[in-house]
Each structure stands twice: as C-alpha cells, then as structure tokens.
Structure 1
C-alpha cells in the first residue's frame, strides 16, 4: 500500500505530465498543498523532495518550487553524457530495455565508420530507452571487442560508460557528433512509440579514448517531440 506522500507525489507528477501544472510556474506553497491534500507539511516536503529528485520541479530559495518542462529532455551536444547519467536525474521515470547484445565481425559499413582496413570483432548493442512509459529513444552501439571485453546484459542495462571507465579503467576523452533528421526505419517503427511522427532525429557519434583510439560508434535515434539539443557557444574573433 502506498504511503500518503507517495500518493501526493503520484498526483502532482501526473498533473505536471498532462499539463495541469505548467512548466515555469510555481507550485502552490507547502501550506496550500497541505490544506489541499489534508496532509502535514512534513508529508508534503517528502512528496516535493521526490518530485525534485525525479526532475519534475526545481526548488528555488525564497520562492518555492518551480515546475520544470518534462515534455522535452535536454541533451548536451558538446558534452559526453551517458543516458544513465541523465536518467539518474529522472529517477524511476527512465528505464532501459536491452534488445540485442551480440558479438560479431565488422561489416563493410562498420569498417568505414571505425576507419580500419582489417575486419575486427565488435559488440552490437541495441537498447530502447523508455521515459514516462513511452519508448522514445533507440540506441544502437558498436564497440571494439578488443578494447571492451566481457559485456553482459546487466552492464548494457546499467551503463556502458561506467563499465568502460570504472571496471576496465579506460578514459573516454572526446566524440565527433553528427545530427540528422531522417525517415524512421522499420526497426524504429517496431521498437519505438512514434505516435505518428514521420521523422526521427539521429545523433551519430564516433567516441574516442584519451589515446585518440576510436572504440565506439553510436546511432542514437530520438522521437523528435521529446528532445531539446543544447550547447554553449562563445563568439571568438
């Protein structure tokens, strides 16, 4: 049975998701929420804390709690951030489903992407990312087996980057990215909740270690209405 604060959390989260509580507006005060839900202020604080942890609100000192825009997720362009790191900010709103984990020899297409002359074994990892119960990202990762041995479904479900850095002791340094808008493939249509959209945003990344060795090629395929791609730019002369 759910506790009182969890029920309040669920109700407020649903109101934010369906637009009843709009982005950039202030939530009612703790006292107003306590009166509305017939609950103590401590119970309200617990619900607000959970909303903050899951990315629904931002507490502002002296102002209260501001509703965040949950219809779009900010993806940094210049930074290297794993989905797990983004998902940690959303709590139970995010889920990963590993569709495929296979070790295979490079195709000609993969040889070109990795810029190698000799065929080498690679991991083929396909994962669907679910946010707020909608399947909206298809991640297709290809990694050199020689540099990233021992992949498991559990590793792929949690975080490839955490495994590479924390278990294998490698340093991920930089990536070259390309963003295109494409027509969804049959695989996109099968695995994602496209809701009738006839385009998909594709972020292609070539990812390198600190010795400039490319170890990963990724295609991250996004439903277009759910993402805001952000960057910071400074004008120089």
Structure 2
C-alpha cells in the first residue's frame, strides 16, 4: 500500500476513535508525525476529502465533517448499547446494532441519485450486523425523509422494508446493485474487526418503489470470511 494511503487510514482511524475532534492537525505537524513530506500529507488528505470525512477551509485549517461516526441518536436517552437486537435465520444467530441514526441535508450526489427537491432532508443510518457473535457486515443507508416518513430507532431494530410495505402501504420495486472488492478502511477495522489489508465485499445499491421512485441508496461492506451474500431482487440480510 502506498504511504499516503496508510497515512489516510491512520488519520481516519484517529477521527473515528475521537482522537481528533473538530479539526485535524496542520499539515506540517502531520508531516512531522509520519516522518514524510507535506506533498504526501496532501495526497492523504485528498483521500479523506473524497470520502467526505474532512473539508479544508482556506486560511482556517482542515475540519472533520459529519461522516465521522456520530454517537448521538434521534431518540432521547439512547446509547450505543441500546442499539442491539437479535434473531435467528439460516445463517445463524444474528444481532443488529444501530451505530447511528440522524437526519441531515443530502449531498449533491445524493440529491441527484434520489431525484430530491432542494429542501428535502434524508435519514443517515449506519447499522452493524453480527453473525454468531462475530461482526460480519456494516451497512450505510440514505433515504428521503418525505418519501419514507416516520422512521424511528424501534423500526430500525426490526425491518425498514416491512415498515415501508406494511405500515406505509408502499410497494417495493427493483433495485440496481454494483458489487466491488475493496480493502478495509478504518470503519471496517473498528466495526468489522478487520486487519488493515483484509478484503471487503462491497455492495452499492439503489432501490426503487414500484412506480420507479428511488427511495434508498446504500452501501454494505461484508467481511470476506463471515456469512454469504445472496443477490436477488429483495434486500439481502447476510
């Protein structure tokens, strides 16, 4: 792995572990810490900018954005320990952990993908799936609030798709998926117990209602050695 990628992963890990809060150290300090040039640090920071983890404000420094995993939930009094539910399926004993659940403004890319009007907000959901007491999958989900109203932590503990169909009375249609193989990043190391260069099976999905309206974009990151992936027209669990 290139040095700048190793540095980017280490900075990302420090962000997730709250070692850096608000902003990250100046480039010259990072160059000294990693015993490298500022050019290498610039390349590393560009990697984190492409992930929307940081943003640089000219003349003021480099700040951490909202993608650094938050620990604040929408329902008052909730904590990470409140985010576990469990059930059994053919793969084994599965626990679901709601890592974070927030409402925010969408990015320009999300607006285009979901055909959103200017002022619409989205749910930003991160869930961890644990198979037989071992972390197996990390899911990032974005959904428009106005199209899927009323989501709560309690619903995330159960099934979003069941809520959409049974409670909202909406019919789920097709989905588009792109499957790629990637190396683990700092989120995978923290929530999937991955080593730095472990392979990850990454599934990018865009889901539609039966009338063709997009209602979800998601990314699931699967450990290579735990569980199996079934690809069909319904939402896969493990």
Q: Give the TM-score range, shorter chain.
A: 0.5 to 0.7
Q: CA deviation at 1:230?
A: 4.5
Structure 1 contact 136–194 (Cα < 8 Å) conserved: no
Structure 1 contact 111–117 (Cα < 8 Å) conserved: yes
Deviations 1:94-133 (Å, cap 9, x if unpaired)?
A: 0100011101110123123324463521101110000010
Q: TM-score, normalised by structure 2?
A: 0.56
Residue 93 of structure 2: aligned partner: 93
Structure 1 contact 173–210 (Cα < 8 Å) conserved: yes
Matches within 5 A, 1:7-156: 88-90=88-90, 93-116=93-116, 118-156=118-156
Residue 188 of structure 2: aligned partner: 188
In 2, the alpha carbon distance for the partners of 1:94 and 1:128 equals 10
Structure with larger Rg? 1
Higher RCO (CA 8 Å, separation ≥ 6 residues)? 1
Structure 1: segments with no counterpart, 5+ residues: 1-86, 233-237
Structure 2: segments with no counterpart, 5+ residues: 1-86, 233-238
Deviations 1:71-104 (Å, cap 9, x if unpaired)?
A: xxxxxxxxxxxxxxxx652497101000111011
Structure 1 contact 106–119 (Cα < 8 Å) conserved: no
Distance verdict in 2 for CA 1:129–1:141, change over 3 Å: same
Equivalences, count: 146
Structure 2 contact 184–195 (Cα < 8 Å) conserved: no
